[in-house]
Structure 1
Amino acid sequence: MKKSKKSYHHGNLREELIEKGIEMINEVGEEKLSLRRIAKMCGVSNAAPYTYFKKKSDLLEAMSDYIWKILAMELAKTRKKYENSEDLLVKLGKTYVMFFCENHEYYYFIISRSNTKIDLLSEFSKIENSNQSAFNILKSEATKVLQKADVPNQAIQDKIIAMWALVQGLVTIMIMNDITYSEIWEEKIEEIIKSVCIVK
């Protein structure tokens, strides 16, 4: 699941600029991010990044969209693979957790954003962006399971938030260096999710 840090030249410079930008923010902070510095990291001219991004804010938006789009693709693959399984929600939860655990830099970037837009209220959100697309996969599948169990609509919303908080919390715990745990995290994720009765 973890993306390889290969060179993306020959038609994929935009992707490399995004990856290097995320790497730079994680290393030195957003205030030191610049299109010129990223160009140097990618071994291209100072003008090259401006073909794709007119200003720094355009690059930051592209970084966020890029990460959520990849996550949405991973969740969609999991949904297709386990669409007839009773453990679909658990599998989706594990996919979410492992995606960010295997891509720490993506997680640190996403939680640093103050402009992420996700609609928790609407059954069919009017927000059209990659982060909403990723969340909608989790929300739609959870809604199906909970409606089938005759859970009231307001409780469904609360449970979906709780599910999201669970997987988000697991990511945070798993990537902390000083957390001591007797088990292998990856082998325990599904069991941990199942132990919390929000998927019943």
Structure 2
Amino acid sequence: MNQKPYHHGDLRNTLIETGIELINEDGLGGFSLRKVAAKCGVSHAAPYSHFKDVQQLLAAMADHVTEQFTVSLQASVEGQEDPMSAMGELGTAYIAFFEQHPAYLPFLFFQSGITIQVDGVEEGVPAYPPFAVFRTTAYRLFRSLGLPPERDGTMLMAYWSLVHGVASLLSSSGVRYSGNWQEVWQVILQSGGTENETDRA
């Protein structure tokens, strides 16, 4: 079995990153602290100094990705006064995040158990932070274009499908593409999808 070296004092993050890789390979049913420890090359008892059980490790893994994703998206729109430019930068950051961390996407959307309420916020369920940034940026764009609020849900899903589709493709181990993924997003932006929707509204 391949063992992953870790830096002294950084075992917690190593367990988290290794856990993300392992759960993508084996699924939730084959996931355990013992297997993560073995892949890290540490004793079976070592993870318990950071996590009381596998559920706590899973929660830490989800928080680890969510926090980084949120910070990346927030930074991309900070200071962007033009709504269209903000959406362009947001999409660029979204794609770049998963380019840098391709293992994060399958974990986040298929293994972590996150819930994303697209149409507003369900009572008692906080908005998923990265998507909240995406939705706020999108609604700002829609208002600037004069789109009627009743179109928000459809337009939001359209934009999310476009940027997430690019991110999903680049994160897939079975997809081979020699081009620049960011250029794909720029082509999508330049195609004027929202402007076409404005004409139909």
- TM-score where L is the length of structure 2: 0.80
Following TM superposition, by how much is the alpha carbon of 1:96 offset from its aligned partner in structure 2, in angstroms?
0.8
Q: 1:185 aligns with which of 176, 181, 188?
A: 181
State the distance in 1 between where 2:192 and 2:170 align.
17
Q: Which among 63, 66, 82 is matched to residue 65 of structure 1? A: 63
Partner of 2:26: 28
Structure 1 window deviating more from structure 2 (173-182 vs 106-115): it is 173-182
Give yes or no for contact 1:90–1:194 (8 Å, CA) kept in 2: no
Superposed CA deviations along residues 86-132 of structure 1, whole A, max 9, x for unmatched, are 41101101211221133221112123237321222227986347xx1
2:116 corresponds to which residue?
Answer: 118
Paired with 1:126 and 1:193, the residues of 2 have a C-alpha distance of 35
Indicate the larger mover: 137-146 or 45-54: 45-54
Of 69, 80, 85, the match for 1:83: 80
Which sections of structure 2, spanning at least 5 residues, go unmatched? none
Instruction: Tell me whether 89-98 or 178-187 shows the greater mean CA deviation.
Output: 178-187
- Shift of residue 67, structure 1, vs aligned partner: 1.1
Letter of the 1:165 partner, please give it.
S
Match of 2:170 in 1: 174
CA distance in 2, matches of 1:190, 1:9: 42
Displacement of 1:6 in angstroms is 8.0
Q: Quote the offset at 1:29 in angstroms.
A: 3.2
Change over 3 Å in CA distance of 1:148–1:6 after alignment to 2: farther
Q: Deviations over 1:118-156 (max 9, x none)?
A: 222227986347xx1111111111111212323222211
Task: Please state whether the residue corresponding to 2:125 is helix, strand or coil.
Answer: coil
**Partner secondary structure for residue 87 of structure 1:** helix
The share of aligned pairs that are identical, in percent, is: 30
When residues 172 and 46 of structure 1 are mapped into structure 2, their CA distance, relative to the original with a 3 A threshold, is: same
Q: Does 1:103 align with 2:101?
A: yes
> Structure 1 residue aligned with 2:139, among 118, 140, 143?
143
Q: What letter corresponds to residue 7 of structure 1 in structure 2?
A: Y
Structure 1 runs of 4+ aligned residues shifted over 6 Å read none
Q: Which runs of 5+ in 1 are unaligned?
A: none
In structure 1, what is the equivalent of residue 50 of structure 2? 52
Residue number in structure 2 paired with 1:153: 149
1:47 shift after superposition: 2.4
Q: CA deviation at 1:21?
A: 0.5
Per the alignment, in what secondary structure is the counterpart of residue 198 of structure 1?
helix
**RMSD, aligned α-carbons:** 2.9
User: The residue matched to 2:184 in structure 1 has which SS?
Assistant: helix
Instruction: Encode CA deviations 1:151-170: one digit per residue, 9 max, x unaligned.
Output: 22221122111111111111
User: Quick one: which amino acid aligns to residue 109 of structure 2?
Assistant: I
